[in-house]
Amino acid sequence: MITQWCEVFFDSIAKEEMIFMTVAKDYIEKVYKKVEDRGPHQKEFLQAVRELFDTIEPALEKNPHYIKWNILERMVEPERIVSFRVPWMDDKGDVQVSKGFRVQFNSAIGPYKGGLRFHPTVNESILKFLGFEQIFKNSLTGLPIGGGKGGSDFDPKGKTDAEVMRFCQSFMTELQRHIGPTLDVPAGDIGVGGREIGYMYGQYKRLNGAETGVLTGKPVVMNGSLARTEATGYGLVYYTQEMLKANGKSFAGQKVIVSGSGNVAIYAIQKVHEFGGTVVACSDSNGFIYDETGIDVALLQDIKEVRRERLTAYAAEKATAVYKDGSVWDFDLNYDIALPSATQNEIDKEQAERLVKAGVYCVSEGANMPSTLEAVEIYADNNIFYGPAKAANAGGVATSALEMAQNSAHSHWTFEEVDGKLQEIMTNIFKTAEKTAEEYGIPGNYLAGANIAAFVQVADAMIYQGLV
């Protein structure tokens, strides 16, 4: 009799779990279809949504009230999107017109926070994907910041300082209506460094008075934070080191490839070398350099940060370096760790398969969504340790939030203080992803662990605030 009762009891539990699983899956697909129907051409945004949705089903099964509150459909719709014209005059006296955007995606846990990107590829889909990712990246930092992103299709490459200044002043003349230290705090991204931030802040100050916390990534002389330039690259390596340590490995003695040659890549290379690894290749938009002795960071910094030249200059000056056109992920090289830090979707399925053949056992992302969904599947199928972008490259926005804290307190922290806080934040991000994956019965799945941990925090905050 007891045996029969037990069988009935456990059968009922199993059926109940199956019902929740079915309901959760159906809800996910229903919401995704709505997103797809609303913006079928927004492929980058759809990819970001799909990646999150594919991993958070366990959270919806465990917390069915998220479905009742229709959290997913509310979460995928930005709170606000602003687009505007940016007229500016070039050095020839000709009038040019660019398009500006700000996507204020989610403010459930704090003011909108996310970079401004100046690049010809900028459009609403790319900014929506970046803003959507930013929600969860910011959540993982443990700091009170929401998600947003913005920018323009203006290309600062090849422009004079005067042209960049005129564009930035025009851009900020409109943007300043929509931002503020407790509302929305933009930062830099691709094409937006200290020069651009300085020009934009100057215009904001002229129109609104001195509010130092309205932009982050400012030069230190403008109340910016030390270690901000290094933060994303350093943070990437700190996160990856924790992931390696959790699996009995480290950077010591490992060959590493880093794509890109901007701030993220340069400072990731520097930190990998400090941890005993050797970065043998990095890239720019035209090609890549392979240097079997290890990338000379000082030379790379001089070429990219001072002279603003292409990587061909590195190969011309370093006897051990070889330059090749094309993607660094398209060549058969033997190495252990990949740190893609250039741009979105730079590694596809075939390139991921090439990484496996090369002997890569760890991929950690310094860029935003540099791996396609098919590439991520290859990583999973081959048991590659995978650090998703929203976790691994959160060091930049974390340090931006630390800059906000310094501005609010009218204080300056030392480089060591900021770097120490950054290490602590990145360690906590990994441990949170690791612990969450274990709690949901998927140990070692750091992608799902990061997504679920970030999603749950934002979803709970949204529920507490009601239908807003």
Catalytic residues: 149
Strand partners, 147: 106, 113
Name residues whose C-beta falls within 8 Å of residue 238's C-beta, 6 or more positions apart in sequence: 271, 395, 422, 423, 426, 427
How far is CA 224 from each of CA 402, 411, 426, rounded to the nearest angstrom?
10, 10, 21
Name residues whose C-beta falls within 8 Å of residue 407's C-beta, 6 or more positions apart in sequence: 181, 212, 213, 223
Q: 402, 403, 363: which is closest to 385 by C-alpha?
A: 363
Q: Please check whether residue 152 is in contact with residue 99, taking contact to mean a CB–CB distance below 8 angstroms.
A: yes
How far is CA 107 from each of CA 79, 184, 359, rounded to the nearest angstrom?
8, 9, 42
Q: Which helix (H) or strand (E) holds 190?
A: none
DSSP assignment letter at 93? S
Q: What angle in degrees, to the nearest 10, is found between the helix axes of 373-381 and 349-357?
A: 30
Q: 288, 269, 281, 228: which is closest to 418 by C-alpha?
A: 228
Strand partners, 95: 89
> Max CA-CA distance within the chain?
93
302/290 Cα distance (integer angstroms):
18
Identify residue 67 by its one-letter amino acid code: I
Q: Report helix, strand or coil for 83.
A: strand
Q: 124, 122, 123, 103: which is closest to 114 by C-alpha?
A: 103
Q: 151, 77, 129, 84: which is closest to 108 by C-alpha?
A: 77
